[in-house]
């Protein structure tokens, strides 16, 4: 499997010191969440201690959302199909996923995990999965069969969830909530999706450069980019990681990259992922119109 998501995702522009010469320097901390690099940028005398608390929060959230930690809430749900007393953060994320599923007419569907596994297993052998394997995996896709209740989450036997199209954004939002509760602001959180908590410490917005060109000035807002070929299953780089639940195959997307800004990084993350499955701009605009204060910042057509 070829991974180049970071080259296609948005990346923070160089933060030249444009503020007063006496302004505190920007402190940068880096960690990992769900296999992706996390970066925290802030100007605060207690920045190292704040970053340590963020690292602890990330570890706690990975105990909920990680597919690689065998005892995470998500892993236990996928293994047993029943999760009693689910964590609030998981319920919150699943609720938002359901809303994007409805507004996207099923294009965004976290129950594609069995399809993902089928493609990943074949990729490890240097192959593409056969049609029978995809048909069997598709039979286990269907968000409408997920039971979500404050007391229990249930899956149909054989089903499994992946929250890769929303959880990184949700983690950025939970970090922002933690820091807000501590009375902090003017921090840029990057989990692969951006959440700007307030403004740049030196004034104005955080400048965020898009890999496909252009820049977004981000303040008190979130931003996410999805690129269908950001991660691929084949050596040729043409079988992308965003799967279409309607047929089980990598999206034959009209877009090289979709960038969306929204009040929350989870929402921007999910909508940019779903947006890759739309054939034209009017469909994208109809999708985001279903949510308040969401903007399509960039939709870069595919070269093919």
Domains belonging to the chain, first-starting first, are: 2-12+26-301 (3.10.520.10)
239's tokens: 């079988």
Paired with 280 in beta bridges are none
Query: Do residues 154 and 251 make contact, with C-beta atoms less than 8 angstroms apart?
Result: no
pLDDT tens-digit series, residues 53-109: 999 999 999 999 999 999 999 999 999 999 999 999 999 999 999 999 999 999 999
Are 41 and 14 in contact by the 8 Å Cβ rule? The answer is no
pLDDT of residue 169: 97
pLDDT at position 2 is: 45
Q: What is the CA radius of gyration of the chain?
A: 19
Which residues, including other chains, have CB under 8 Å from residue 295's CB and lie 6 or more apart?
260, 261, 262, 288
Residue corresponding to tokens 């129950």 = 111
Going by pLDDT thresholds of 50, 70 and 90, the confidence category of residue 294 is: very high
**pLDDT at position 19 over 60:** no
Identify whether the C-beta of residue 11 lies closer than 8 Å to the C-beta of residue 211.
yes
- pTM score of the predicted model: 0.92
List pLDDT tens digits, range 215-267: 999 999 999 999 998 888 888 888 889 999 999 999 888 999 999 999 999 99
For residue 126, what are the β-bridge partners?
none
pLDDT at 9 > cutoff 90: no
Give the end-to-end CA distance of the chain in Å, rounded to a whole number. 21
């Amino acid at each position: 499997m070829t991974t180049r998501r970071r080259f296609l995702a948005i990346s923070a522009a160089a933060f030249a010191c444009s503020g007063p010469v006496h302004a505190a320097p920007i402190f940068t901390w880096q960690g990992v969440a769900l296999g992706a690099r996390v970066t925290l940028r802030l100007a605060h005398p207690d920045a190292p201690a704040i970053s340590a608390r963020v690292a602890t929060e990330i570890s706690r959230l990975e105990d909920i959302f990680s597919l690689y930690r065998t005892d995470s809430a998500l892993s236990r749900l996928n293994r047993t199909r029943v999760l009693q007393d689910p964590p609030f953060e998981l319920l919150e994320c699943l609720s938002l996923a359901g809303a994007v599923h409805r507004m996207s007419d099923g294009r965004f569907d976290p129950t594609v995990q069995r399809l993902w596994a089928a493609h990943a297993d074949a990729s490890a052998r240097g192959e593409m999965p056969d049609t029978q394997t995809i048909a069997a995996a598709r039979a286990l896709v269907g968000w409408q069969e997920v039971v979500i209740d404050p007391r229990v989450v249930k899956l149909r036997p054989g089903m499994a969830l992946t929250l890769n199209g929303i959880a990184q954004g949700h983690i950025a939002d939970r970090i922002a909530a933690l820091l807000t509760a501590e009375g902090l602001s003017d921090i840029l959180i990057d989990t692969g999706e951006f959440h700007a908590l307030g403004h740049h410490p030196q004034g104005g917005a955080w400048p965020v450069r898009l890999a496909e060109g252009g820049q977004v000035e981000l303040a008190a807002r979130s931003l996410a980019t999805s690129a269908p070929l950001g991660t691929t299953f084949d050596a040729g780089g043409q079988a992308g990681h965003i799967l279409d639940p309607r047929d089980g195959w990598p999206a034959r997307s009209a877009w090289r990259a979709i960038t969306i800004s929204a009040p929350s990084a989870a929402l921007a993350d999910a909508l940019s992922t779903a947006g890759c499955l739309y054939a034209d701009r009017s469909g994208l605009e109809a999708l985001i119109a279903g949510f308040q204060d969401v903007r399509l910042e960039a939709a870069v057509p595919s070269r093919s």
